[in-house]
Structures are given as structure tokens and as C-alpha cells.
Structure 1
Amino acid sequence: MSHRSSEHYIGACHCGAIRFEIETDFPELTMCDCSICKKKNALMVKVHETKFKLLQGQDSLTEYRFHTNTATHCFCKVCGIYTFHRKRVTPDHLGINVFCLEGFQADGIPIRQAVGAAMS
């Protein structure tokens, strides 16, 4: 069950080179225990690719892949901030770093601990 109505949010990396828009009702937030997510310590919301739009910064994005090389983790080449990633298990969805969203407050949204470290 959703805790908010579906809304549009603008997100950006720290330097502003990358800007994007998402639409979500924040049914939950996710933390993952895989090796990269633990190190980047991001809190994410899952959105379908049709609810994501890159507004600027394609040339400032850099990708990192590891293990099965399926998930694509995107970072800003300028400031290094993790902005989003294309998910491994559901490749038509993106995990969005909610700390990049303008005016976002996580209060009252359930946080699910994803078990990524145990994935083969």
C-alpha cells in the first residue's frame, strides 16, 4: 500500500551536471546489503523505466558493473555521486538514490532491507 500519492520529483547529483525526473508514490524505500550498496550507503526507491526521465547530463554519467555485469550503477563523472542504477533482477526498473531528490523527506515510508549479498 502506498503512503503518498504519485508525484514527480527532480533529482540531481551534487554538482548538478546530472538531472533527472521520476514519478513515484514511494511504496517503500530499499537498502541493499550487496558489496557496492553497503559501501555507497544509498537509500533507494524502485521506479519503472517509464517513470524515469534523464533531463540532462548523459555525457556526465559513468557506469560501473560487477559480478554478473547485469546491473548498471550510474555515477557522475564530475562529483562522483551515485544517482541511480538499472536493477539486475528487474531490469525494466531503476533504483533511485532518494538523497538526490529535491525536497524529499523519508519520514513514514517503510524501509526494506534487500538481500543482495546472497544473490548468485
Structure 2
Amino acid sequence: MPHTGGCHCGKVAYSFEGEIGTVIDCNCSLCAKRGGLLHFVPESAFTLKTPRENLGSYRFNKRVIDHHFCPACGVAPFSEGADPQGNKMIAINVRCVDGVDISALDIRAHNGRDA
């Protein structure tokens, strides 16, 4: 199933394929502050609809994940990194996906604070 999403002002937009299954509620210092709920897809299932120049980026801790945000409205709709096997992955903030009912999701806690 195709999904669309992006930031509040529309300067960052994306689409991705696949069903949204279990969503991760990470408690790392960044996710806790921005309130992200994460759904992971392979890079091949993700399409950025706007130019990369529209993205702000932030790295912290081990500096292996690009946490993207909109420089205009400040919303952080997705991040880019790799899974433990080295496969490129996109972490999508499902709060930024169009038409998602957050109350209907299977949300699992992840202890990113101590990782």
C-alpha cells in the first residue's frame, strides 16, 4: 500500500510502499524530545518527493543516522541510516504520514537511551 507524508509546511514530502506494522517509540534523547514514532522501510521503498536541498540534517551520538527536518517549519519527518546488517533503511515518523490513525497502531517501546 502506498503512503505519503512530510512536514507541516509541505517543503519536505515523501512517499513509501508497504503496510505500517509495529511502530517503535524510542526513548533516546532526540526521539523523546521530538515525539517521533518510527516505522522502518528499506531505502528502495522510499521516495523523497522534494529536493534534498529542502532538508536540514542532524547527527548525534555515534553519528551514523541522518535525522532530517524541515528548516522552515522544524518538523522531523524521517531519518536515514542502516540496519545491523548494513542495509540502508529509512525511519519514518508515522506522526508525519498522511491519514494515519495513531490510536490504531501497535506501538512498542525501544530503549534507545541506553543503547
**Same fold flag (TM > 0.5):** yes
Q: What CA distance in whole angstroms lies between the structure 2 residues aligned with 1:77 and 1:38? A: 20
Structure 1 counterpart of 2:42: 48
Which of structure 1's runs of 4+ aligned residues deviate more than 3 A? 87-91
RMSD between superposed Cα atoms in Å: 1.5
Structure 1 counterpart of 2:97: 101
Q: Which runs of 5+ in 1 are unaligned?
A: 1-6
Structure 1 counterpart of 2:32: 38
Give the structure-2-normalised TM-score.
0.90
Residue identity (%): 30
SS where residue 39 of structure 1 aligns? helix
Instruction: Show CA shifts across 1:17-67 (max 9, x none).
Output: 011001121120111011000000111111111110001142110110011
Q: Which runs of 5+ in 2 are unaligned?
A: none
Question: How far did 1:107 drift?
Answer: 3.9
SS where residue 11 of structure 1 aligns? strand
Amino acid at match of 1:78: A
Q: What CA distance in whole angstroms lies between the structure 1 residues aligned with 2:75 and 2:51? A: 13
1:41-120 alignment, distance < 5 Å: 41-87=35-81, 89-90=83-84, 92-119=88-115
Question: How far did 1:106 drift?
Answer: 2.9
Give the structure-1-normalised TM-score.
0.86
**One of 15, 29, 43 as aligned partner of 1:21:** 15
Amino acid at match of 1:112: R
Q: What CA distance in whole angstroms lies between the structure 2 residues aligned with 1:68 and 1:89? A: 14
